[in-house]
Amino acid sequence: MISTNGSGSKKPSKRKKKIQSEHRIVMRGLTLDDYADVKEIMDIVFPEFDGAWKKNQFVSQITKFPEGQICIEDNGKVVGAAISQIVKWSDYGDNHTYEEIVGKGDLKNHNENGDSLYGVDIFVHPEYRGLRLGRRLYDARKELCEKLNLERIIVGAWMPGYENYEDSMTPAQYIEKVRDKEIYDTVLSFQLANGFHVRKLKRGYFGHTKGFSSYAVLLEWLNIYYEKEEIALIGGQKTVVRVGVVQMQMRPVAGIEELMHQVEFFVDTVAGYNVDFVLFPEFFNASLLARYNDRSPSDAMRALSSHTESIIEKMAEFAVSYNVNIISGSMPEYRDNTLHNVSYLCRRDGTYEEQYKLHITPDEDFYWGVKGGYNLSVFTTDACKIGILICFDVEFPELPRFLAEQGMDILFVPFYTDTKNGYNRVRHCAMARAIENECYVVISGSVGALPHVENMDIQYAQSAVFTPSDFAFPHDCVAAESVPNTEMTLIADLDLDLLKELRKKGSVRNLSNRRKDLYELKWIYES
């Protein structure tokens, strides 16, 4: 059932940054302790069904099929959940009712040897609508279906909007209009957008409920990976990670609002392809510099840094609402009278971390007075372990090797270069880092021009995704690359299992074949 509500520089200060997302989104399995939160939500969104499941029904659901009961919590409180069971579809077919398959809500018809995942309930607290949490719950159901090697997901759903068209069209015509996007139905449109198709139009599927049309639909999602073999349950690390790259054109903008409209457009577009990460270029917010043409380059960059906090707040919101981990390129940060170049990882659970640029180019120092940071981190995400190196940093092989020793799978490199020879330094060093560290490297740069903006007036870029060099990977070590100097996005799937295979059985094994009896890599600085 589906809810219808619907250098001489100071070292960085240790003080905690003020920028924090208000959300702490976590996807997990439901527990018996969650009943109060679940009851609160169900009482709000299902008043026509007398509210929530009873406590004994909830206990039975979790006891009989704990893997199928999924929730999303925010700051420790459940704000959405999905209840499921496994059935053998041939036992029910299309000619069943909701009560016949669900029973009294205690999952008495749950069949561990079944072939189909049936969606018993899904609901999100009304205060959290707009964060696309329902999509996350459905993605989790799909992942569970794939991991359990089930053939399909079946759900029953109202068509709440049909009551407004009962006198002018048949249910079948209404479904066709919704499918063609001529009519928006809060439930059916959502299901179709999540890859479900209408399997059967049903009258009286949910019984006779006051305030609803008697018509409902039986919807189906087919698992294209279904095989006649067992595979591991949900919960393991991803084996294929999808990355999105934004090659962004620099153009003067009226203000921060216009810039964030552009950023949200790219996040929305790339997230629509179900990516795990999206990478923006170094100094992607440099278009705001045009507002400070009357200032010196160093003063203009410090003025630009005043926008960093508000930009990160918005990007942290985008990460949650679009369900994608965002590497925010880089932006200037002015703290303790020192200017730094900083990249932010905004996770889709609402948390964020930062990586300072360590090596500063002569131009950054001369024109802007940027100073380097002191620490290097591997970041744990829900997809894999990643590293972030800003532009010039990738040209120092010690840094990626240090990250690789800590388990990094993907290295993200936001960059800014003005000429092709500068770009080639970044590109060829990034390719070398992928080979020598047996990892993937993703680079993203900006294109276009900013007239009259000193030291940022022209850009050259060809964003790309690089791989190690062995038989399992592309012959040229390029998984994807953009058209040079053209605003566009890239999408690439990166197989982590190939990295594991390479590190154990590759033609050569750069990491494991090192002569540690001769040399070592050591981090000297202590924070």
Active site residues: 282, 357, 391
User: Of the candidates 344, 319, 314, 310, which has an alpha carbon nearest to the alpha carbon of residue 329?
Assistant: 344
* Separation between Cα atoms, residue 216 and residue 207, nearest integer Å: 10
Q: Residues with Cβ < 8 Å from 418, sequence gap 6 or more?
A: 457, 458, 459, 460
Cβ 413 vs Cβ 443: under 8 Å = yes
**125: how many CB neighbours lie within 10 A of its CB?**
22
Q: Is 292 exposed, middle or buried (0-12, 13-18, 19+ CB in 10 A)?
A: middle
| Lookup: tokens for 153 | 């997901």
| Lookup: tokens for 23 | 């959300």
Dihedral sign, CA of 69, 187, 179, 95? positive
Q: Residues with Cβ < 8 Å from 345, sequence gap 6 or more?
A: 325, 326, 327, 328, 352, 353, 354, 355, 379, 381, 386, 388
* Helices (runs of H) and strands (runs of E) counted in the chain: 13, 22
| Lookup: tokens for 145 | 């279906």
54-88: burial string, b at 16+ Cβ within 10 Å, e else: eeebbebbbebbeebbbbbbbeeebbbbbbbbbbe
Helix (H) or strand (E) holding 338: strand 338-346
| Lookup: tokens for 389 | 């190196």
Q: Residues with Cβ < 8 Å from 83, sequence gap 6 or more?
A: 61, 68, 69, 119, 120, 121, 122
Strands, E assignment, 25-74: 25-29, 70-74
Cβ 400 vs Cβ 387: under 8 Å = yes
- Alpha carbon 161 to chain centroid distance? 31
First to last CA, the chain: 53
